[in-house]
Amino acid sequence: MSSRSASDYPIAVDAMGGDLGPAEVVAAAHLALKEVKGLNELILVGDEGQLGPLLKGCGLDTDSRVRICHAPEVIGMKEKPKESYKKKDSSMITALKLVADGEAGAVVSCGNTGSLMFSATLMLRKLPGVERPALATIIPSRDHHFLLIDAGAQPETSPKQLAHNAILGSAYYAAAIGKERPRVGLLTIGTEEGKGTKRITETHDFLKALGEAGIINYLGPIEGFDTFKNVADVVVCDGFTGNILLKTLESCYGSLKETLKDELMATPMRKLGTFLAQGAFKAMKKTFSPDNYSGAPLLGLNHLVLKTHGSSDRYFIRSAIRIGLETLRHDMDEQVQKDIEKGNGIMKAPAMASVSAEN
């Protein structure tokens, strides 16, 4: 890219990969252009024959801030990553190429997660020193928001890769939430040292060393019930655990929402009480609604990639576009590379190597 700020570049949106189709993506673009301050340009990547009429239908065909990049193919949700990478004319691969070629600053996609991770890693390359990218997602809570990393990119990770996740997650949390030196916790089954698997024990030793070096603000192991207690800002785990936790939380939120709605509408008296308390319910919805932070960045790459659920609606996609723009405004890469390099040096040190061998 040139000397322009990263946030000055367009955001490329994969318009064809989601379950709800391109109409929902166009509606999201319409919302984003109205509501996201400083959004200069969007590139909708997909079949021009479908996108053109949709843009015209909502009056965006004459808006200079949005344009179409034609990509006739679509990567299906069940396609294998290596095979889907060969579909060079697909909306996902084309959107990634726009970023790789310096024509866009970030990619937002609702498409196949495995294909997006595989193709993004090959096309955009990892940051120097980072072994594997990780998905990070911000979880809303009553009195704070915490970052879950990894949320599903890498089901199996080494202690070193988990330590990288702590560095990447800390940098992103500081940029997205604005809190310097976020508290990092390692998710395990107990807060005592030595509790958990061999991998967790070794990861704890690495994170403790990174904390002592001032690279991260490590507070130690945490348990599942600590996540919503404002104990840690960044919760580190492998992608297998993180993905299960994330989907369980989302399912619980949906179940509670529907149950509460049914119970509040069950009798006339309850309906009256609901009407009187509607301000409180709106505040709760604003606090806990997952669409506020629906875009999960794939951290550890040279460029920004944001993944949203395949079933994301216009509000989720709009939120991902907003998060993408805010993240681009905070150039994290230079500091992250320094921290990763320093951290790798610490984890290679003879003392750390002997600890690893003992574990």
Cβ contact 111:75 at 8 Å: yes
**The pLDDT of residue 109 is above 60:** yes
pLDDT(221) > 90:
yes
For residue 176, which of 97, 294, 275 has the smallest C-alpha distance? 294
Q: What is the pLDDT of residue 250?
A: 78
- Between 45 and 229, the more confident residue is 45
Band the pLDDT of 247: cuts 50, 70, 90.
Answer: confident
Closest CA to 243 of 160, 320, 165, 134: 134
% of the chain residues with pLDDT over 90: 63
Pick the range with the lowest mean pLDDT from 93-102, 170-179, 216-225: 170-179
**Taking 60 as the threshold, does the pLDDT of residue 1 lie above it?**
no
Structure confidence at residue 289 (pLDDT): 62
Q: What is the average pLDDT across 39-53?
A: 96
Q: Which residue has tokens 């369980």?
A: 248
Give the per-residue pLDDT at 293.
Answer: 60
Tens digits of residue pLDDT in 316-355 = 999 999 989 988 888 788 889 999 999 999 998 765 655 5
CA distances from 259 to 33, 252, 263, 265 (A): 35, 10, 6, 10
Note the pTM of the prediction, 2 decimals: 0.84
Which tokens hold the place of 112? Answer: 């196949």
Q: Write out the two tokens for 214.
A: 């001032």
**Cα atoms in the Cβ-side hemisphere of radius 13 Å centred on 224:** 9
Residue 277: phi and psi, rounded to 5, are: -105, 15
Domains of the chain: 136-292+344-359 (3.40.718.10)
**CA 257, 253, 145 angle in degrees (round to 5)?**
125
The candidate with the shortest Cα–Cα distance to 312, out of 11, 10, 12, 21, is 21
The answer to whether 265 and 274 are in contact (CB under 8 A) is yes
Mean pLDDT of 234-243: 94
CB 134 within 8 A of CB 300: yes
